[in-house]
A = this chain, B = another copy of it.
Amino acid sequence: MNTKNSTVSVFALGGINEIGKNMYVIESYDDIVIIDCGGKFPDESLPGVDLIIPDITYLKENEERIRGLIVTHGHEDHIGGIPYFLKQLNVPVYATNLTLGLIEIKLKEHGILRDSKLFMIDEDNVLRLGTIRTTFFRTSHSIPDCLGIAFQTPLGTIVHTGDFKFDWTPVDKQAADIHRMAAIGQEGVLLLLSESTNAERPGSSPSERLIEEHLDETFRKATRKIFITTFASNVHRVQQIVDTCIRNNRKILLLGRSMVNVVRVATQRGYLKIPEGMLLEESEVPSMSPEEVAILCTGGQGEPMAALSRLASSRFRKLEVLPEDTVIFSSSPIPGNETNVTRVVDNLLRLGANVIYGSGSATGMHVSGHAYQEELKLMLTLMKPKYFIPIHGEYRMLHIHRELAQSIGVKRSNIFLLNNGDVVDIINENEVIQTRSIEAGDVFVDGSGIGDVGEIILRDRRVLAGDGMIVIVVSLQKGLKKIWNGPDTLTRGFVYGPDSEELINSINQNVRTTVEKWDNNKNQRTLKKNIKNSVENLIYKRTKKKPMILPIIIEI
């Protein structure tokens, strides 16, 4: 364990050079404060992996110094790792009302809600976390109740923006608290950590308020059922959809577990206002006139198991998408999801629906919750940091964010483009350096196991996925080269049995020859290796495939 007396350090355990699994750490003298603990969804290079969470080895080694986990807002990439984290380190968690509500759903699913130490905060709280005085400022984003954080350490103030945009006409009338941001900047910010998601986009993001008129226009034109999908956590969007339904005399059916969950939590906690009698049960829909119904559902990313995908491929219980129904995507495809989304769109069009889809900003049905370039420059200008770390983005976003910071006057040598685990040490306000790193990386959640899937397992899965496998069983008489039984060759995912009889015979013949050639003074491992190599060559020559080959030798 490394005890530091008079240094303040900052590093990320996730969120840098990636979108997802955000986790940042501030160490002031002997006090550790953690910001967010997100999850990330795997791509196809990680077959079978369910979720990626940060590696918290360093935190486990320094458990007694952790003063708490502060959560900036309730999105998956900021809260998705919390259950796995708390099971290992049951530290106090600080978050706003709605954020806590969303965290609690997760903790309940994992059966650890009762044992967790959750504390509700708002932007007016001041937390004393050892040597760190922590204050907050409200930001605008695509979920309510978001915080930015100012950490006053003995060596200066460090600001973490959380996720933000500037929206001067917000739906909940609670604009980002620019006055408090200005005051924090005026008092002096030594180091700023600011999110970079939309650093590639010039200009400013449109206001969430713009959606309303587009929704209204589409609702007015629709003559039959309306299906509309958005991120469940986008409570402001859900409120706008509810309000549009009220104005247009439609009642709402909620579909999809996360939609139902988030609406319940957001309503209970006062973030969403749905008049009595507005919500329908599924059983009520058939008896209603189609122009009186709107269905608000999950599946805007084309997730195969979500409500909208199942509706689109007619795999949904009693509800159907019918000709002349309207389907609105109030969302944009996240990179990587485009083909899934267009597949759903195709299926909906086949059912005869009028589908409004495409890049959300083009259809007027979606705006981003992340600051564009001019907004990032506004934040940099408000905070006037001496040092800057762009966070929450892939490399090119951080790269561009660095250029934006330079453009408003931050010295290039005072900007740190980090990797997860790279530590920025504040020695004093004139000496801020990055020279060391701590352990950081991806931990895979697979089934109920955490971290038990490593590179070897994944490599095997990729081989198995590519060309399948072949198991060859040979029983030998103990101590002899004589085959007692077999070889028996069995394949899965390789070639279909009946089509490949001749190939299997050749493999068996090849194994017999290999056993005969084997020097049986050598051990079994040599024989296995010989069989593997010889069969591999045979198969590649015949089929150009490279299945996994598993020889099994039984001595009798």
Contacts and interface: CB of A to CB of B under 8 A. Distances in A.
Interface of A: 17, 43-44, 47-48, 200, 335-336, 338-339, 342, 345-347, 349-350, 355, 357-358, 394-396, 399, 446-449, 452-454, 456-458, 460-462, 464-469, 471, 473, 475, 484-486, 488, 490, 492-496, 499-500, 542-545, 548, 550, 552, 554, 556
B338 A495 contact: no
A551 to B, nearest CB: 11
B17 A346 contact: yes
A72 to B, nearest CB: 25
A452 B500 contact: yes
Contacts of A543: 447-449
Contact of A396 (B349, B446, B495, B542): B349
A453 B488 CA distance: 22
22 contacts: A47-B466, A335-B339, A338-B338, A346-B396, A347-B395, A349-B395, A447-B467, A447-B545, A449-B495, A449-B544, A449-B545, A452-B495, A457-B494, A457-B495, A457-B496, A460-B493, A461-B465, A461-B493, A465-B465, A469-B492, A475-B475, A485-B554
A240 to B, nearest CB: 26
Contacts of A457: 468, 493-496
A436 B543 CA distance: 37
A461 to B, nearest CB: 4
Given A48-B466, A454-B496, A495-B452, A447 B544 contact: yes
Given A48-B466, A48-B545, A447-B545, 20 more contacts: A17-B346, A44-B44, A342-B394, A342-B396, A345-B396, A346-B396, A446-B467, A447-B544, A448-B543, A452-B500, A453-B495, A453-B496, A454-B496, A457-B494, A458-B493, A462-B465, A464-B469, A469-B469, A469-B492, A475-B556
Contacts of A345: 396
Contact of A468 (B347, B460, B552): B460
| 10 interchain residue pairs of minimum CB distance | A465-B465, A447-B544, A464-B464, A346-B395, A447-B545, A460-B493, A47-B465, A461-B493, A44-B44, A448-B544
Contacts of A456: 496
Work out how many copies of this chain go into the complex.
2
Nearest to A350: B395
Contacts of A453: 495-496
Contacts of A336: 338-339
Contacts of A473: 473, 552, 554
Given A456-B496, A495-B449, A556-B556, A464 B465 contact: yes
A490 B556 contact: no
Contacts of A468: 48, 457, 460-461, 464
A395 to B, nearest CB: 4
A248 B48 CA distance: 51
A445 to B, nearest CB: 10
Contacts of A349: 395-396, 399
Contacts of A394: 342, 346
Contacts of A338: 335-336, 338
A88 to B, nearest CB: 16
Contacts of A449: 495, 543-545
Given A465-B464, A473-B554, A475-B475, A339 B43 contact: yes
A499 B335 CA distance: 35
A550 B490 contact: yes
A396 B356 CA distance: 11
Given A339-B43, A465-B47, A556 B496 contact: no
Contacts of A545: 48, 446-449
A485 B485 CA distance: 14
A63 to B, nearest CB: 23
A488 B554 CA distance: 10
A452 B499 CA distance: 7
A554 B496 contact: no
A17 B545 CA distance: 30
Contact of A475 (B200, B490, B544, B554): B554
